[in-house]
Chains A and B, each alone.
Chain A
Amino acid sequence: MTRWHVARLVKVRDENATARTLVFDVPGWPGHLAGQHVDVKLTAGDGYSARRSYSLAGPEGVELTVQRVPDGEVSPYLTLDMEPGDELELRGPVGGWFVWRPDGPAPVLLVAGGAGIVPLMAMIRARRAAGADTPFRLVYAVRSPERLCYADELLRPDPGVSVTLAYTRRVPEGHPRPPGRLTAADLGPYGEADCYVCGPTGFVEASAALLVGLGHDPARIRTERFGPTGD
């Protein structure tokens, strides 16, 4: 029942050297929930087309953050070549499972791996926009400081939201946690929460297992995996 809309790029914002946020104008956009995604379709002049899914980054409007994958097919175009005024086709919002609603009463634990931050950032922004006081905790695993998205926004105090950065390869000077994979200590101690985990497939598997090991109810862990190569 959902049809393809024409989306016109109106604004771009670099999040870091390899990730860019694209803001689209989509006439008739019905609104969406934090955590939902869109399917995009790009068609070349000769009719060749490619489809990808991207999470919406904010609670309002159509804002996508795309991580460039070296040798990728679509992400290099979106992050380097696409200019305001250019158009693509877009379908959505879709996915009513990996979503957070501002009236959700339970504390929330967000676990992001790399570009998996995007739908979780949408939840943090939706919480702020709604003036909700649900306790939020974000654990954000990222390779190095250069790979951080939304750095300024995440480091600004946001009452009720605690942010833990877990660098996996290289830490900035003075960072208390040594570089390394996410551990149970990063995610603990256990506290009752709705858990949202988003990232590459291996990251999601490992993190979900850590959460279950800490005592979280598997039925309250929602996951969203990226494909094996993304792009």
Chain B
Amino acid sequence: MTTFTRGFRGRRRGEDDRLPPGQYLTEDFPVLSAGPTPHVPLDRWEFTIDTEAGQTHRWTWPELTALPYEEPAVDIHCVTSWSKLGTTWRGVSLDVLFEDVESTADYALVHSYGGYTTNLPLDDLLDGKAWIAYRYEGEDLTPSHGGPARLLVPHLYFWKSAKWVRGIRLLTEDWPGFWETAGYHNYGDPWREQRYADD
């Protein structure tokens, strides 16, 4: 039996049909973190895509930021129940990075500086659905929000948008990541409210 606390509303704002079920609007941008914030010097930063055949594609910071970029404006949904609408980013579409990657793999395991991992089907990274983002609201992405660069895959819960992204490993079999092995849903679609493994 739940006890309601009279007069308590919490910080969330009103309703909006852009809100997935069980989500609340937030105006600020909460910082979530499962560990110490890595600080990666740009001259040592790199991003890699490793294929199932053992090929590695590699980009340095100047190489990444010289690629054509997009400026998506997207709604983001954190599994801890906050959503933030109309966030604007600058980043390189994964379609650009995958242009020369030969692969028949179905699965991607994203890994980060600091050791974080998250998994998703490769299809969810392609066709304009995901970016390696390095600017947020017109500013360089700060380390607390995943800078220098993070994955941005806004159609899934935000834990899939790995901060401090370092690379993507392509796999023929699915390999659950950090939260996916600890009770969270393997796919994480906010519109189907796929929060926990049993949902």
Contacts and interface: CB of A to CB of B under 8 A. Distances in A.
Interface of A: 6, 42-45, 47-50, 73-74, 77, 81-83, 86-89, 228
Interface stretch (B9-17, B49-57, B89-97): B9-17
Given A43-B8, A77-B5, A86-B5, 17 more contacts: A6-B3, A43-B2, A43-B3, A43-B5, A44-B4, A44-B9, A44-B10, A45-B4, A47-B2, A48-B24, A77-B8, A77-B9, A81-B8, A83-B7, A86-B7, A87-B5, A89-B3
A47 B2 CA distance: 9
B6 interface: yes
Closest 4 CB pairs of A and B: A73-B11, A42-B5, A42-B8, A88-B5
Contacts of B6: 86-87
A205 to B, nearest CB: 13
Nearest to A78: B8
Given A43-B2, A48-B24, A81 B10 contact: no
Contacts, number: 51
A42 B12 CA distance: 14
Interface residues of B, number: 13
B69 to A, nearest CB: 31
9 contacts: A43-B2, A48-B10, A48-B24, A49-B2, A77-B9, A83-B7, A87-B3, A87-B4, A88-B8
Contact of A73 (B5, B7, B10, B31): B10
B3 A50 contact: no
B82 to A, nearest CB: 11
Interface in B49-78: none
A81 B4 CA distance: 15
Contact of B4 (A43, A73, A74, A83): A43
Contacts of A48: 9-10, 12, 24
Given A43-B2, A48-B12, A81 B24 contact: no
Contacts of B8: 42-44, 50, 74, 77, 81-82, 88
A47 B3 CA distance: 10
